[in-house]
Amino acid sequence: MLGLMQDQPLLISSLIEFAERHNGDGEIVSRRVEGDIHRSDWRTIASRARQVANALDNEQLLFSDRIATLAWNGYRHLELYYGVSGSGRVLHTINPRLHPDQIAWIANHAEDQILCFDLSFLPLVQAVHAKCPTVRKWIALCDADKLPADSGIPNLVSYETWMGKLSDRYDWPRFDENSASSMCYTSGTTGNPKAALYSHRSTLLHAYAAALPDVMDLSARDSVLPVVPMFHVNAWGIPYSAALTGCKLVFPGPALDGKSVYDLIESEHVTFAAGVPTVWQMLLGHMQSQDLKFSTLNRTVIGGSACPPAMIDAFQQKYKVDVLHAWGMTEMSPLGTLCTLKNKHLALPPAQQTALRLKQGRAIFGVDMKIVDGDGHELPWNGQASGDLLVKGPWVVAEYFKGEGGDPLVPDAQGRGWFPTGDVATIDADGFLQITDRSKDVIKSGGEWISSIDIENIAVAHPAVAMAACIGVAHPKWDERPIVIVVKKPGAEVTRDELLAFYGNKTVAKWQVPDDVVFVEAIPLGATGKILKTRLREQLRDYKLPEC
Ligand code: ADP
């Protein structure tokens, strides 16, 4: 017997309809590429998203055709989020930090029909447009009078000319909720990038989940600053959860330096912000140097790579901002776990609470996870056993776009497919996940695993260290030994021996202390702000351990 409830597909258009009807005057504030502050609201975004849908219909596009963006976080990007997906096309957000050849490869692979870009990416578009034969129109996200003359880009039009005069009447089509809505390529540090193809259903379920109290706890009382980019994994789903809750949205545009982000947080009374550790490092650096405090910010979600304990302490103790450490992946839309304490943890002393907050947290309902040994046997949740992390759930990929890389899933005894994350983790009895490494970065010394994240976290806790990366180096007796590569803070001093002695005071076994410290000017970062260990290993190809 089937239930007798209404059959209403979960579509992205329903989010913007809801936001317009129930929170129409909810503010959308954007710092533009031009540097000024632009003010809009959910009602206007909804109306302009319908104009975008009409403009797309005029282009004779087919259902599921891909429309690409190369854009910062801003109101026009938000209008495209809803206009493109709502009208049945697929929004393909491209990471502008990728190499131009990779961008051209991705645009060709996705067969993008239209590409919309912020003017700061004009040189990039000039470099790649001739290599993107499927793109028939290039749209600059600007007013008509800002459109550059003689750009050399054929079929270039300004966004406002393209959609600004069209009707804002549009009936959002109804279709299967499993239809594709948006896509994002992984950064492809090994091999060609692969695309996660999200659906309307997966996006809506993720949007509900992300807003939950033990996740981002979003509400119509919040002013939300996604510093995480809309060009990578949909800014962790915030543009959708924001419409669902009716919160105010504050977009930083291209200005991600500490001062600009701080000023926006204060002037727009931001209560919740989301970012990766490298961006928060700049914010905290600015605040420390100017002796500033937050007046409204009360919580922040930090993820994308491990959040160092020194950062958690600074936010929690000094600035009274709750840190929600999160873990996820492009293949998971991206949220998997989030670290919020349980009732029984509230009475714990601060040091123990910090130790818990350092973990990546508990699975969000919808995501099932397990850790397995090398033979695929499930390992216990005791906080000690560490193994390969697998996940499944309705917002986890089943396969990549165009079947790239074959079937990625690993079946269990019941035949259910689990996605191997490539991360190595422990899970404790309370269900708190802790990522110890990427499987390809694990350091194996004398048959024992050393967590490179642990080694890095200790180094960055030293006051003179700005950034640290730990890699394994071949050793004749132990197979591999860890070394730590360090960038010093400007003007700060620390020697190799001082830093190694610093490890002696920390909770790390003697054999886990790195064998050497290598000081460098900069550590290579990938397009999503993560340390590129492959590149680092190449750079240190000729490096020899001191005692070998
Ligand atoms: P990419 O952009 O490199 O394709 P993602 O943005 O999807 O990849 O990054 C996913 C990976 O980032 C995870 O598999 C994990 O290794 C790492 N990661 C994400 N969040 C955290 C975290 N909080 N702590 C440690 N590692 C993390």
The residue whose CA is least distant from atom 12 of ligand 1 is 304
CA–CA gap between residue 457 and residue 470 (Å, rounded): 10
Whether 531 contacts 497, CB under 8 Å: no
* DSSP sequence for 96-124: TTS-HHHHHHHHHHHT-SEEEE-GGGHHH
Can you say whether residue 431 is alpha, beta or left, with left for phi > 0 and alpha for psi between -120 and 50 degrees? left
Q: Looking at the CA of residue 233, tell me the nearest atom of ligand 1.
A: 6
Q: Is 177 an active-site residue?
A: no
Residue 496 burial (CB < 10 Å; 0-12/13-18/19+)?
Answer: middle
The structure tokens listed for 420 are 């191997």
Q: Which of 444, 448, 498, 544 is catalytic?
A: 444
CA–CA gap between residue 459 and residue 455 (Å, rounded): 7
Go through 196-208 and write b for each residue having 16 or more CB atoms within 10 A of its CB, e for each that does not.
bbbbbbbbbbbbb
Whether 472 contacts 481, CB under 8 Å: yes
Picking from 286, 287, 354, 291, the residue whose alpha carbon sits closest to that of residue 317 is 354
3-class SS of residue 417: strand
> Probe ligand 1: pick from 435, 451, 535, max atoms within 8 Å of CB?
435
3-class SS of residue 509: coil
Whether 67 contacts 288, CB under 8 Å: no
CA–CA gap between residue 60 and residue 249 (Å, rounded): 32
What single-letter amino acid sits at 459?
A: A
The structure tokens listed for 403 are 């079947």
> Probe ligand 1: pick from 329, 391, 441, max atoms within 8 Å of CB?
329
Picking from 201, 319, 218, 314, the residue whose alpha carbon sits closest to that of residue 272 is 218
Residue/partner pairs of 62-66 with CB below 8 Å, 24 or more apart: 63/88, 63/89, 63/175, 63/179, 64/88, 64/89, 64/90, 64/179, 64/180, 65/89, 65/90, 65/113, 66/90, 66/91, 66/92, 66/110, 66/111, 66/112, 66/113, 66/183
The residue whose CA is least distant from atom 24 of ligand 1 is 306
Q: Is 189 an active-site residue?
A: no
Q: Is 165 an active-site residue?
A: no
Q: Which domains does the chain have, with CATH numbers?
A: 12-199 (3.40.50.12780), 354-436 (2.30.38.10), 443-539 (3.30.300.30)
CA–CA gap between residue 438 and residue 422 (Å, rounded): 6
3-class SS of residue 385: coil
The residue whose CA is least distant from atom 21 of ligand 1 is 305
By DSSP bridging, strand 66-70 and strand 90-93 are parallel
Predicted confidence at residue 548, as pLDDT, reads: 64
Predicted confidence at residue 189, as pLDDT, reads: 57
**Is the pTM here over 0.75, yes or no?**
yes
Distance from residue 329's CA to the centre of ligand 1 (Å): 5
CA–CA gap between residue 265 and residue 313 (Å, rounded): 20
Q: Looking at the CA of residue 435, tell me the nearest atom of ligand 1.
A: 25
By DSSP bridging, strand 335-338 and strand 362-363 are antiparallel
CA–CA gap between residue 236 and residue 336 (Å, rounded): 11
The structure tokens listed for 115 are 């590409």
CA–CA gap between residue 511 and residue 507 (Å, rounded): 12
CA–CA gap between residue 516 and residue 513 (Å, rounded): 9
pLDDT tens, residue order, the chain (548 aa): 999 999 999 999 999 999 999 999 999 999 999 999 999 999 999 999 999 999 999 999 999 999 999 999 999 999 999 999 999 999 999 999 988 999 999 999 999 999 999 999 999 999 999 999 999 999 999 999 999 999 999 999 999 999 999 999 999 999 999 999 999 998 655 567 899 999 999 999 999 999 999 999 999 999 999 999 999 999 999 999 999 999 999 999 999 999 999 999 999 999 999 999 989 999 999 999 999 999 999 999 999 988 988 899 999 999 999 999 999 999 999 999 999 999 999 999 988 998 999 999 999 999 999 999 999 999 999 999 999 999 999 999 999 999 988 899 999 999 999 999 999 999 999 999 999 988 888 888 887 888 888 899 899 989 999 999 999 998 888 888 999 999 999 899 999 999 999 988 776 778 889 999 999 999 998 887 788 888 898 898 888 888 76
> Probe ligand 1: pick from 215, 228, 305, max atoms within 8 Å of CB?
305
